Amino acid sequence: MGNKAQIGGGLIGLMFLGLAVFEFLSGDSWVVWAILGFLFGGFGAACRLLKGRDRS
């Protein structure tokens, strides 16, 4: 059950990070979205997504 919560939090964090990038490109305030993405685990989820899962 904890794994599902970790995945869900990471997905929400990734959504916030995506919104931060969109707001940055459109010239609006983006810092709050980036902070929320960090707090919800978006950076960790992005690293897991880019590196792949550890199969050991």
Handedness of CA 23, 25, 31, 33 (dihedral sign): positive
Per-residue pLDDT of the chain (56 residues; tens, 9 = 90+): 555 555 666 788 888 889 999 999 998 889 998 888 888 887 777 777 777 665 54
Q: 47: domain range?
A: 4-52
Q: What is the pTM of this model?
A: 0.67
The per-type count for the chain, helices as H runs and strands as E runs, is 3, 0
Q: Angle at Cα 34 formed by Cα 6 and Cα 45, nearest 5°?
A: 25
| pLDDT reported for residue 31 | 92
Number of domains within the chain: 1
